[in-house]
Amino acid sequence: MTILDLSEQALRSVNAELQSLNGTQSNAEYEIINPRGSHALAVGLNAPIAVKIAGSTGYYCAGMNKHATVQVAGSVGPGVAENMMSGMVVVDGDASQYAGATGHGGLLVVRGNASSRCGISMKGIDIVVQGDIGHMSAFMAQKGNLVVLGDAGDALGDSLYEARLFVRGSVASLGTDCIEKEMRQEHIDLLNDLLARAGVDADPAEFRRYGSARQLYNFHIDNAQAY
């Protein structure tokens, strides 16, 4: 375990050290201390290393992550794991706006709440939020799965494409073209797997599934007011 201290080392040198293993199979372990809300921490990683961040971070923590496992023992600012490709990011506290935005793959777990636009434009990432999520979450979400153990804010899944949304609590309102769908066995199985990988103990049967009504997929004049 290598300790990187942000009160002594510049952000650039911390990230450069983590990125120096990019392209390797290294599973080295790092702990970053004194993050103090720093932005762009542990971004652009591309190796199966494990990074623990002892404290809260700012914007874009673990942005564009590939292969690495990043755990934040605190809360994160906007855009955690944005555009993640693979690997795993775990936030022990809360996540601000845009958690997992445009992510292509990997698993993002938020143990606390995520605020607005969680999973915006997601393109294949899996996101598990143990608390609540804010408004406009999964806006234009294309692919992947968003699992919420708490409640969802307004306009969930607005202009949704093929992403699947599972919410255990209440949904304040559904966005345009987002509807509740039947929970079939395949969805129970999928949820079981996601919850297990996220280390969350919950019964898949308690969730409701939401998805795209696919009414906006090809322009139709009767839907014009929805644009």
Q: Which residue ranges make up the site for another protein (CB under 8 A)?
A: 11-12, 15-16, 19, 36-40, 43-44, 46, 56-60, 63-64, 66, 75, 77-79, 82-83, 85, 93-94, 96-98, 101-102, 104, 113, 115-117, 120-121, 123-124, 134-135, 139-140, 142-143, 153, 159, 161-162, 216-219, 221, 224, 227
Min dist CB 213 to another protein, Å, is 13
Question: Any alpha helices (H) in the chain, and if so which ranges?
Answer: 11-19, 185-198
Min dist CB 167 to another protein, Å, is 18
Residue closer to another protein (CB basis): 85 or 183: 85
Min dist CB 204 to another protein, Å, is 25
Q: What is the CA angle 20-96-56, rounded to 5? A: 55
Residue closer to another protein (CB basis): 15 or 145: 15
Min dist CB 203 to another protein, Å, is 28
**Hey, what are 177's tokens?**
């073209």
Min dist CB 39 to another protein, Å, is 5
How far apart CA 47 and CA 26 sit, in angstroms, is 6
Residue closer to another protein (CB basis): 42 or 195: 42
157: nearest Cα among 204, 129, 167: 167
* 152 neighbors 137 (Cβ within 8 angstroms): yes
First to last CA, the chain: 52
**Phi and psi torsions of 118, nearest 5°:** -65, 130
How far apart CA 119 and CA 138 sit, in angstroms, is 5
Residue closer to another protein (CB basis): 19 or 26: 19
* 194 neighbors 165 (Cβ within 8 angstroms): no
Q: Which helix (H) or strand (E) holds 128?
A: strand 123-129
Residue closer to another protein (CB basis): 71 or 75: 75
Min dist CB 40 to another protein, Å, is 4
Residue closer to another protein (CB basis): 30 or 98: 98
15: nearest Cα among 65, 54, 72: 65
